[in-house]
């Protein structure tokens, strides 16, 4: 399987893919396979799976509660670049991930909302997933539930806080492998 992650800092979203021997490519501003601003990236390479997680600060609930959305529109250039890359590459499966916030009011309701805490994250962290995988059965499984505490603030580093839980990377990988094995291609 060929997998791609855009807007990454850590590559955590594809760690399980890499452990399984899949061909993994990461794109970010530093420390990734492709170092560049996603807004400048273009590809026609075909990937079986692509995941994007634009910076959440632009769409944070805190911005909304503080009234910042009354006076301005959030910068959509990174989200639009992610959607453009999906259109250019036409992957078999893709996910756009962002914590629950204002993005759902701009691009529409997500395909699924999950809690990172159910996959081993240090706190609940409700997260929206937009995807062409309409029914992600493995993500709804109660087998993943590890922690749903909302009380542990966790690390102060935004890089560490943004890391995708290992078990969520595993769930994404297993879901895509299952779909590829049963030839459930959506863009074919």
- What mean pLDDT is predicted for residues 68-72? 58
User: Does residue 59 lie in a domain region?
Assistant: yes
Question: What domain count does the chain have?
Answer: 1
Range of the domain at 151: 2-181
Q: How far is CA 92 from the centre of its chain?
A: 16
pTM reported for the whole predicted model: 0.83
Taking the C-alpha atoms of residue 34 and residue 28, their distance in angstroms, rounded to an integer, is 7
User: Does residue 188 lie in a domain region?
Assistant: no
Q: Which residue has the higher pLDDT, 58 or 16?
A: 16
Residues pairing with 58 in the sheet: none
Taking the C-alpha atoms of residue 114 and residue 35, their distance in angstroms, rounded to an integer, is 29
Residue 40's pLDDT band, with cuts at 50, 70 and 90, is very high
Q: Give just the sign of the alpha carbon dihedral 146, 148, 149, 150.
A: positive
- CATH at 146: 3.40.50.150
User: Does residue 187 lie in a domain region?
Assistant: no
Residue 66's pLDDT band, with cuts at 50, 70 and 90, is low
Q: How many CB atoms lie within 10 A of CB 19?
A: 13
The pLDDT tens digits for 135-156 are 766 665 555 555 544 445 555 5
What contacts 61, CB < 8 A, 6 or more positions away? 99, 100, 101, 102
User: Does residue 186 lie in a domain region?
Assistant: no
């Amino acid at each position: 399987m060929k997998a791609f992650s855009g807007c990454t800092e850590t590559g955590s979203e594809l760690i399980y893919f890499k452990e399984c021997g899949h061909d993994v490519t990461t794109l970010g501003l530093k420390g990734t396979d492709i170092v560049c601003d996603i807004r400048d990236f273009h590809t026609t390479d075909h990937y079986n799976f692509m995941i994007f997680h634009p910076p959440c600060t632009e769409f944070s609930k805190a911005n909304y509660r503080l009234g910042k959305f009354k006076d301005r529109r959030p910068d959509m250039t990174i989200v639009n670049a992610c959607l453009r890359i999906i259109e250019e590459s036409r992957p078999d499966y893709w996910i756009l991930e962002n914590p629950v916030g204002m993005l759902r009011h701009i691009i529409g309701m997500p395909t699924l909302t999950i809690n990172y805490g159910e996959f081993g994250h240090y706190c609940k962290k409700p997260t929206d997933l937009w995807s062409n995988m309409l029914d992600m059965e493995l993500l709804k499984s109660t087998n993943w539930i590890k922690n749903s505490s909302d009380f542990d603030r966790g690390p102060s580093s935004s890089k560490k806080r943004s890391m995708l839980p290992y078990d969520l990377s595993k769930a994404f990988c297993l879901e895509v492998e299952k779909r590829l094995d049963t030839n459930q291609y959506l863009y074919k």
